[in-house]
Every structure is written in C-alpha cells, then in structure tokens.
C-alpha cells in the first residue's frame, strides 16, 4: 500500500507506471461507463477504455474543449446500479464488508454533495460536483499546500478570498482543515471591507495569509498607512491572478513597513475543472520561483503544441492539458485549459524542497488574454495582455494600474483605443513615467497607448473594484459598450 506522499521521492518511471495503472482502472470502472460524454466519445472513436494502459496512450484520445461543457451533467459520473454492482471492485467490497457497508462506501465515493462553479460561454455559472471522495482530495491538496508553505502545527492563517462557490475560497478552507490549522475566513472586501480585514489580521497576527495579489497589496498598504504591525507574518499564498516578480517585490517592500523583515510570496495555479490547486514551494528568494508542483497520483498533466495538439518535449512552452486520475462527480479527460506555460514541464528534482514529482515552470499566460485590436482600419493587431501585465507590474515606479480597451469616440464602427490608468508608487516625474510606459508597450506589442492617465489610490481602487469584485479589474474591455 503506497503512502499518500510516496510520489515526492519516486522516479519518473515509477510515477508513470503508477499513473498508467490508475488511469486504466479509472477509465474502465468510473469515467467511461458512467459519464454520458465520455461513453459516447469512446464508442464513436472505437476506443476500448481497457486498451489505455499508459500515459503515452492518452495521445490516442481526443481533447475535451471548454466549449463542450455546456451541460456539466454529461461530464458527471452517474453510476448505473446494475453495472456498478457487477464490477469486480464492488464484488470484492461486498465480500469484505457485506452489502450494507458496501452501499455506504459507494455512496460516499460517488454521491455528489457539494459544488463549485465556473463560467461558460454564456457567462452562466457551470457547476462542478464533488462527492465525499473529492472533498477528501481537496483536503489532501490542502495538506500538500501547507507542506509546501512550511506551515507548522501552531501557525495561524487568514483566508481573504471572497465567500463564493469558487475553487480558490474552498481550497483555502480545506487547507486549514487538512493541516488542522487555525484559520479565519474573512470573505474578502465584500464581506468585512478593508477596515474589517485589516482589523482582523492585526488582532490575529497570522503566520500565513491567503489572498488575491491586488487585494493583498491594498490591505498591506492600508496597514502601512495606519502604522499597524503584522510582525508574525511569514508567508503570503497568492491565487486568482498572476503574480509577476514586480508584484512580489512590491508586496515584500510593503511588508517591511509593517514589521515583516523577510516575506515569502508563493503563487498557486488552479482551475475549477481540476478540482485541485497546485503551488510553488518556498525558495527564499522573490525572483526565482520553484514552479508549480503537480500531484502525479491525482492527475496527469501534459504540455502540447496549441496548434497541432502534439505533446512537446520537457522544458518547451505549450498548452497545459489536464486529466484527472482520481475524481468523482464532474470529471474531465485531456482537458484543454487554454493556459500556456512558458517553460513547459520538468521532471528534474526541485532544488528547494527536493521533490522528484513534475513541475510546471515559468509564467502562465491565458490564450483568452490575447486580444485582437483594430488600431487601424487596415488590419487587426493581436496583443498579448499577459505580457503587458508583467511589463506594468515589473515597473517599480507603478503602484497600481488598469488597462482599458475602448472604441474611439464611443463609436462601435471606429478604431480601438488603449488607455493606461496608473498610480505612481512614489514621487516621480509623471511625464517621464508616461513616456517610458509608451516606449515599453510599443517595444512589446508595436502598439502605443492612446492615453496614459494618473490617478489617486482611492480612484484606482474604485476603478479596479478592489474588495468588491471576485477578481480585481486590471484589464477592462469596454468595446461592446460603445453606442455611437
């Protein structure tokens, strides 16, 4: 019987052998027989689920696209009781525990009791269902997050994610359950406001805070303005947004003002369809993150060429593809995340925590954040706003910013315009800063903003929806609002 953390020191061949066996069992006994979508997919492609016996065999299977999940019920494991009771694993349970206990075990494994949600093409929430089995996985994921954050038995944590049926909040909750760690969940700015959050954090003086970067920056800035001391704080666990090197440095500088001489800033990567969250480990530096540590006993992550769908060699950029090995409820197979990982996947031993499990390295960019701008009437320009976010966050003269895309003169038929709104970090020549922003953006995208405007912190917080939105508005596309 393998322990829950055997994969931390296992070899790649050992991990992949385990994944092949687990994938084979999962497809034959849970995913294909009992999900409408995958049963139909395997039948239409003439694929026997029992023939998928290794990670390499995944290449024979079609991808699951985000656009396919309009009806999550089709992706939910809903057992046929007659089929289920004839499976060898069910028969073995019945022989060992008897019929009544076996039914109880199957109910705990397979009955959906909880949900989080995502947003589909119609912007309607799409539910992802969890059984007790999935809740146990979420709790185990929390234990692993706490391990990577080097959380001790007596640590205290504050979770500032908004109360919502979203994975980020619930992963924070189950991290505290999994680690048996005291935690206050504040619900973010919408529930307790800035003052309520800063007051609660000051009173508890936690070792760890879980938050979105922009909201955390806002809280720490407020604490610094009030002369508060959070001198017990050791680690920020960031989620929900990108965390560029510049943002990490700015958080550390603010931390120094509230009594924290050395701050660990670690980022997470998760998405609703995975029902798990992956995290960096502590490296002791702000500019060299470890990469996101994966859980090879719970999932298979591939990196493929987004154009061809072919798997790329280790260390090469590509799209992240996710396959669950151990989920119940709503489950996905070869799911195209639309996320591009800059340096691909690596199996090299982590120099910081020593794990031999795979990691995702480099910046993660969302394909959906590459937008076409009609700056001229002759052609559209593809602009990668992922790059612009890093460019602006990495400028130590900028405290906060927002990019607005709009139509010239509010005319839906006119060309697009780009406006950068910014708050200077400190006293500086705003004309020089404005020109530098234009030059950097022109060099990065060949497009210069039509305007660069400067604002107060209060104005920027209102523009970004800090403490009011589930995610702060850093890139706002208003082109659809043009009325002429």
Q: How far apart are CA 222 and CA 202, in angstroms?
A: 12
pLDDT class for 299, splitting at 50, 70, 90? very high
Q: How far apart are CA 217 and CA 212, in angstroms?
A: 9
Is 241 strand, coil or helix?
coil
- pLDDT, position 378: 36
pLDDT class for 121, splitting at 50, 70, 90? very low
Query: What tokens were used for 400?
Result: 């906060």
Neighbouring-strand partners of residue 127: 117
- pLDDT, position 370: 67
Q: How far apart are CA 236 and CA 142, in angstroms?
A: 15
Q: How far apart are CA 231 and CA 467, in angstroms?
A: 24
Half-sphere exposure of 363 (CA within 13 A, CB side): 16
Comparing 126-140, 150-164, 354-368, the range with the smallest average pLDDT is 354-368
Q: How far apart are CA 177 and CA 159, in angstroms?
A: 12
Q: How far apart are CA 473 and CA 462, in angstroms?
A: 10
Pairing of strands 475-477, 398-407: parallel
CATH 3.65.10.10 fits domain 368-481: no
Q: What percent of the chain has pLDDT over 90?
A: 71
On average, the pLDDT of the chain sits at 91
Beta strand spans in 163-274 (E): 182-187, 208-211, 235-238, 264-271
Give pLDDT tens digits for 259-293.
999 999 999 999 999 999 999 999 999 889 999 99
Pairing of strands 292-293, 359-360: antiparallel
Instruction: Name the residue among 27, 271, 272, 337 with its Cα closest to residue 129.
Output: 272
Average pLDDT over residues 147-154: 94
Residue 3 has pLDDT above 70, yes or no: no
- pLDDT, position 119: 62
Contacts 24+ apart (CB under 8 A), 366-375: 366/338, 366/339, 366/340, 367/306, 367/319, 367/338, 367/339, 367/340, 368/338, 369/475, 371/405, 371/477, 373/405, 373/416, 373/418, 373/447, 374/415, 374/416, 375/415, 375/416, 375/418, 375/447
Give pLDDT tens digits for 231-265.
999 999 999 888 888 889 999 999 999 999 999 99
Give pLDDT tens digits for 63-107.
999 889 989 999 999 999 999 999 999 999 999 999 999 999 999
Give pLDDT tens digits for 457-476.
889 888 888 777 767 788 88
Q: How far apart are CA 224 and CA 258, in angstroms?
A: 6
């Amino acid at each position: 019987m393998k322990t829950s953390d055997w994969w931390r020191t296992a070899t790649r061949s050992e991990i992949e052998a385990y994944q092949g066996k687990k994938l084979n069992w999962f497809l034959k006994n849970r995913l294909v027989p009992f999900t409408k979508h995958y049963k139909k997919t395997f039948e239409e492609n003439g694929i026997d689920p029992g023939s998928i016996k290794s990670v390499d065999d995944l290449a024979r299977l079609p991808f699951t696209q985000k656009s396919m999940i309009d009806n999550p019920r089709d992706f939910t494991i809903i057992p046929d009781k007659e089929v289920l009771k004839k499976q060898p694993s069910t028969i073995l349970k019945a022989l060992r525990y008897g019929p009544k206990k076996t039914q109880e075990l199957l109910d705990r494994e397979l009955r959906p009791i909880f949900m989080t949600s995502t947003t589909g093409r119609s912007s309607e929430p799409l539910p992802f269902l969890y059984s007790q089995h999935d809740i146990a996985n979420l709790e185990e994921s929390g234990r692993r997050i706490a391990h990577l954050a080097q959380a001790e038995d007596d640590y205290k944590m504050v979770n500032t994610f908004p109360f919502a049926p979203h994975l980020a909040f619930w992963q924070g909750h189950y991290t505290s359950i999994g680690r048996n760690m005291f935690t206050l969940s504040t619900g973010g700015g919408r529930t307790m406001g800035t003052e309520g959050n800063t007051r609660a954090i000051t009173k508890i003086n936690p070792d760890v805070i879980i938050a979105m970067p922009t909201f955390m920056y806002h809280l720490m800035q407020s604490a610094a303005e009030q002369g508060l001391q959070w001198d017990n704080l050791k680690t920020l666990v960031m989620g929900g947004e990108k965390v560029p090197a510049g943002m990490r440095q700015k958080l550390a500088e603010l931390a120094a003002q509230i009594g924290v001489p050395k701050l660990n800033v670690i980022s997470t990567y998760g998405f609703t369809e995975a029902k798990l969250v992956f995290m960096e480990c502590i490296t002791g530096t702000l500019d060299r993150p470890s990469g996101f540590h994966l859980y090879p006993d719970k999932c298979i992550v591939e990196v493929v060429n987004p154009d061809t769908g072919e798997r790329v060699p280790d260390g090469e950029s590509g799209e992240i593809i996710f396959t669950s090995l151990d989920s119940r409820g709503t489950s996905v197979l070869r799911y195209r995340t639309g996320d591009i990982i800059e340096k691909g996947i690596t199996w090299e031993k982590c120099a910081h925590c020593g794990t031999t499990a795979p990691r995702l390295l480099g910046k993660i960019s969302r394909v959906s954040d590459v937008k076409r701008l009609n700056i001229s009437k002759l052609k559209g320009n593809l602009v990668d706003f992922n790059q612009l976010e890093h460019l602006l966050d990495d400028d130590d003269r900028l405290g906060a910013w927002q990019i607005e895309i709009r139509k010239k003169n509010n005319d839906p038929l006119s060309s697009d315009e780009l406006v950068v709104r910014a708050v200077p970090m400190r006293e500086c020549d705003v004309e020089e800063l404005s020109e530098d922003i234009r030059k950097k953006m022109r060099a990065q995208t060949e497009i210069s903003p039509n305007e660069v405007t400067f604002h107060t912190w209060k104005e920027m917080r209102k523009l970004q929806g800090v403490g009011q939105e589930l995610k702060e508005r850093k890139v706002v596309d208003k082109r659809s609002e043009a009325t002429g």
